[in-house]
Amino acid sequence: MIWYKQPIDDVYTELNSTINGLSSDNLTARQIKYGANRLVLKGDPFWKVVVEPFKSVFVAVLLAAAGISYISNEYLDGTIVLIIVFINAVIYWSQQYATDRVLRSLRNQDKQIVTVKRDGRDVHIDSEELLPGDIFYIDEGIKIPADARIISQSNLLIDEASLTGESRPVSKHNGVLSSEKQVYERSNMLFQGTYVTKGAAEAIVVNIGNLTEFGKIADLSIGETTKSPVQDKIDKLVTLMIKIIAVLAGITFILSLVRGIPTDEAIRFVLAFAVSAVPEGLPVALTVIIVLGMRRLAKKKALVRSFKAVEDIGLVTAIATDKTGTLTKNKLSVNEEWSLNNESLKKILGLTLGPSSTLDDSLDIAIAEYTNTKHKKVDKYYPFDLSIKMSGVYQKATGEIYIKGAPEHLLSRSNVSSAQKKLAESKLHELASKGHRVIAIASYKTKNPPEDLTKLTKKIHFIGLIGLADELRVEAAESIRLAQQAGIKVSMITGDHYETAFNIAKTLGLANHTNQIIQGTDLPKNQSALARAIKDKTVFARIIPEDKFRILKALKEKEITAMTGDGVNDVPAISNAHVGIAMGSGSDIAKDSSGIILLDDNFTTIVKAIKEGRTIFENIRKMLFYLIATSIGEVFSMMGALIIGLPLPVTAIQVLWLNIVTDSTMVLPVGLEPAEDDIMNKRPRHPKQPILDRVIITRMFLVALAMAAVTIITVIILKNQDHQVEYIRTVAFIGLAVGQWVNAFNARSETKSIFSRNYKKNNGLLVGLAVSIVLQLLIMVGPLRHVFDIADVPVLTMLYSAVAMSVAVLGISEIHKLYTKHSRTYPKHKSEVTPIA
């Protein structure tokens, strides 16, 4: 039913309600039929949340490795791998639970008690218990709990900014509308999430939850869940590794049989080979560093709602941010006034205020503070009319309507001379060029005030102008500079006047020339033309909510975009941005649609999140370098020994120890390496660039070859000295472990020498090394030494092996860093990139 077209009696009938409200006799049936009055985004079902940590290619490989281990009767190996996979899942689930708990806490702060009429009596209920047919009461300052049809009202004004984007209160009535109306034109309806700024009303609920206008926008905003770009890159890398391992494993198996190794022993060897090639510690390490990054950001007032968001934010190339509240403090103040007759405007400004508009309207709050005007009675109040961009107050004592509104509109309706108009326009430009929001003041003499301001029959009397300013956040300009320095395009979106927006942008360092600004009225209707038109624009002025989503779509064609928003009208934009950012003070639906919530509504927090995202991404690269280089080193060692005809340097259980215990104790500290000093001086990485570039891949293979060379030489020397196989493998085992320890320190920086890094910044690496050494000693001399086939080896021999491996692994890495230091450049930012889905 189209509720705004129906007489109120027909609404009662349709909803099976009466003037006494709902009957308690059928409440249960209604509750079952309609459910709770709660906005619910179509999130993933529980089973999808459970399986999410098992969906990566890497985890699939580990599960396959565990299966092969069990088939080969290597139960210990298989169990250890399964434990790793389970730990990874538990960490993921715990972080999701923690994030959801914070969101629930934010929602609980917004709990609302509503007075409703049931069985003819007034009762107080939670807003979530409202049902269609309920009759409720509202007055000044109340948030509308559901979509409703007005039964009766008294001087009712509603702030619908969160729904329609209109910042001025809208007048409401209880009459019937005869023609089709847009949401913002339905003047006999109330909408969930909007606020009463004046008056009182009685209304009947017609829709709740996702059937409200808020809910419809929520349903439209749901996009397909996509894989994070970092996870996609890792999956591609792992898929390539699997193909290579499969080929090498086949070759190894054939070589083993050719050498006369029994089939069952050849299978165990190939299994050990496959295990050594797969860095089992990576999934847990990835999950842990992302979780810890999310928690660090939460302490910096950025609540990250998903792993994808914290990974994506590090790849952002463009930020489109609201001005009000994000770049400013969202508190208007009157800074200047000007009148045609050079008289003070304070008294007249006070007369433009309605009886209760000082409660919620930011403009009237500023005027009330400036004029020291308190709550007062008025004879007639005209709410802001968007079509003529003015509001007014009729004072019977003076016989005048005092009007305030947009300068261009008031001047066009005034009786000023051409010279006076030119003078006023000059002052308007002067105030706007200072970054002020400019409001015009006028009056209209009449003894019979009209029903609304559109019915004024003669010219108004123009009085003057006031300039208001929303104080910029002190740190905003520096944060924008840091973002620009990092190669990120920052754009400001505002409803301000062209010159006001330009002046603020200049102060913030967003624009130097007027050709960098575009007004909403100048935006091309065609989307392709819009993308071309805004290519070099950094300021969007006089923007209405409908423009915001179109701007986002245009930016996404060429940039990896973060978009901020706070109201329900922003939901389509923030939910479809690569990184949607909601304000902590914004609507619940905006927060539910976002990837990141700014708990302090501050632009600086976005820059902090980008730095954290970049740090996580770079540390993932470092972890991959460390793990894959050492894994390849083990593979080369075993293949080299097999080809030459030497005994295998290490056993399957020793390989598992190196990959799970030694790697895990070192890889986590590598992943927690603090950000390098120049991380925000680099341009964003191209989203299609592989996670590991040619330089890092080359260094990986050099380190692996160094490890393999030392290992094979060690085996040859000890074999020629007629040592037993267990003795040889023990020395090689120690050497490979030391190689991993040293390579962890190599991985701390892609460009800087190991000797130039400050170890106090990452004490975790020293702790990890100490733990790994202790664990290594325990299996060398403890009761488990027989499980790991550890032989008695002189300390001096182990020391020789350790020194040789350290010098080789450290030396090759340092030489390569020195060689590439001056030739390597960081990827340049490109104006056109392939967007992340």
Q: Please indicate, yes or no, if residue 212 is contained in any of the structural domains.
A: yes
What does the pLDDT look like over 722-755, one tens digit per residue? Answer: 999 999 999 999 999 999 999 999 999 988 888 8
Residue 174 belongs to some domain of the structure: yes
Task: Tell whether 784 is covered by a domain.
Answer: yes
What confidence category does residue 377 fall into, taking pLDDT thresholds of 50, 70 and 90? confident
CA 778-782-783 angle, to 5 degrees, is 135
User: Do 174 and 188 contact (CB within 8 A), yes or no?
Assistant: yes
pTM (global) more than 0.75: no
Q: Does 87 share its domain with 168?
A: no
Give the mean pLDDT of 395-409: 91
Which of 251-260, 334-343, 584-593 reaches the highest mean pLDDT? 334-343
- Across the chain, mean pLDDT equals 84
Domain boundary (571, 601, 631) is at: 601
Domain's final residue, options 445, 469, 493:
469
At 666-723, the pLDDT tens digits run 988 998 898 888 889 888 877 677 888 889 999 999 999 999 999 999 999 999 999 9
Contact residues for 455 (Cβ-Cβ < 8 A; gap 6+): none
Q: What is the pLDDT of residue 827?
A: 47
Instruction: Region of 119 please: left (phi>0), alpha (psi -120 to 50) or beta.
Output: left
- Give how far the C-alpha of residue 278 lies from the chain's centroid of Cα atoms, to the nearest Å: 32
- Which pLDDT score, from 0 to 100, does residue 375 have? 61
Q: Which long-range contacts (CB under 8 A, 24 or more apart) does 586-592 make?
A: 587/162, 587/193, 587/214, 588/39, 588/106, 588/107, 588/110, 589/39, 589/41, 589/193, 589/214, 589/217, 589/218, 590/565, 590/566, 591/103, 591/106, 592/39, 592/41, 592/103, 592/218
Using CA atoms of 783, 784, 789, 791 in order, give the dihedral in degrees to the nearest 10: -40
Whether residues 800 and 814 fall in one domain: yes
Task: Check whether 95 has a pLDDT greater than 60.
Answer: no
Q: What CATH number corresponds to the domain at position 294?
A: 1.20.1110.10
Do residues 132 and 147 share a domain? yes
Q: Which of 250-259, 454-463, 552-561 has the lowest mean pLDDT?
A: 250-259
Q: Is 322 exposed, middle or buried (0-12, 13-18, 19+ CB in 10 A)?
A: buried
Q: Give the model's pLDDT for residue 462.
A: 95
Do 30 and 58 have their domain in common?
no
**742 located within any domain:** yes
Instruction: Please determine, for residue 358, whether its predicted confidence score (pLDDT) is greater than 60.
Output: no
Out of 423, 448, 469, pick the residue that ends a domain.
Answer: 469
Does the residue 103 lie in any domain?
A: no
Calculate what percentage of the chain has a pLDDT beyond 90. Answer: 38
The yes-or-no verdict on residue 194 having pLDDT over 50 is yes
Q: Residue 826 domain-assigned?
A: no
CATH number of residue 393's parent domain = 3.40.1110.10
At 569 the pLDDT is 66
Q: Which domain holds residue 555?
A: 313-327+474-601
DSSP assignment of 368-418, as one string?
HHHHT------SEEEEEETTTTEEEEEETTTTEEEEEE-HHHHHHTB---H
Q: What is the pLDDT of residue 822?
A: 63
Under the banding of pLDDT at 50, 70 and 90, the label for residue 110 is low
Residue 655 has what pLDDT? 83
pLDDT score recorded for residue 155: 81
C-alpha to C-alpha distance for 655 and 80, rounded to whole angstroms? 13
- Relative to beta strand 461-472, strand 400-405 is unpaired
Q: Could you count the other beta carbons within 10 Å of the beta carbon of residue 815?
A: 12
Predicted pLDDT at 280 = 66
Could you read off the pLDDT of 202-221 as tens digits, one per residue? 999 999 988 898 777 655 55
653 shares a domain with 768:
yes
Residue 5 has pLDDT above 90, yes or no: yes
| pLDDT the model gives residue 290 | 83
The pLDDT of residue 760 is: 64
Residue 508 binned pLDDT confidence (cut-offs 50, 70, 90) = very high
Choose the weakest-confidence range: 286-290, 492-496, 509-513.
286-290
Residue 25 to residue 19: CA distance in whole angstroms: 16
Q: Which residues of 361-382 are buried (b: 16+ CB within 10 A; e: fewer)?
A: bebbbbbbebbebeeeebeebb
Q: What is the mean pLDDT of residues 110-114?
A: 76
Q: What is the DSSP letter of 139?
A: E
* 8 and 141 share one domain: yes
Q: Quick check: helix, strand or coil at residue 591?
A: helix
Please count the structural domains in the chain.
Answer: 4
Please give the DSSP secondary-structure letter assigned to residue 648: P
Whole-angstrom CA distances from 572 to 222, 554, 593 are: 8, 14, 8
- What residues are annotated to the active site? 322
**Taking 60 as the threshold, does the pLDDT of residue 50 lie above it?**
yes
pLDDT of the residue at 113:
87
Query: Is the same domain home to 200 and 231?
Result: no
Whether 371 shows a pLDDT value over 70: the answer reads yes
Q: Are residues 634 and 740 in the same domain?
A: yes
* Reported confidence tier of residue 325, pLDDT bands at 50, 70, 90: confident
**Helix then strand then coil, % of the chain, to nearest 5:** 55, 15, 30
Distance (Å) of CA 702 to CA 388, 433, 630, 639: 73, 60, 11, 16
- Residue 571 confidence class, pLDDT cut points 50, 70, 90: confident
Tell me the C-alpha distance between 253 and 335, whole Å. 82
| 492 in a structural domain | yes
Rounded Cα distance between 465 and 469, Å, is 13
For residues 383 and 478, state if they share a domain: no
- What secondary structure, in 3-state letters, does 476-529 show? HHHHHHHHHHCCCEEEEECCCCHHHHHHHHHHHCCCCCHHHEEEHHHCCCCHHH
CATH number of the domain within which 124 lies: 2.70.150.10
- Residues 199, 245, single domain; the answer is no
Question: What does the pLDDT read at residue 119?
Answer: 93
- Please check whether residues 544 and 567 belong to one and the same domain: yes
In a domain, 607, yes or no: no
Among residues 232, 320, 221, which one has the least CA distance to residue 560?
320
Domain harbouring 579, CATH code: 3.40.50.1000
Of 180-189, 353-362, 488-497, 566-575, the range with the lowest mean pLDDT is 353-362
The pLDDT score that the predictor gives to residue 289 is 83
**Number of residues that make up the chain:** 837
Residue 398: is its pLDDT beyond 60?
A: yes
pLDDT of residue 562: 93
Give pLDDT tens digits for 629-651: 998 898 899 889 888 888 889 88
623 and 588, same structural domain? no
Residue 200's pLDDT is: 87
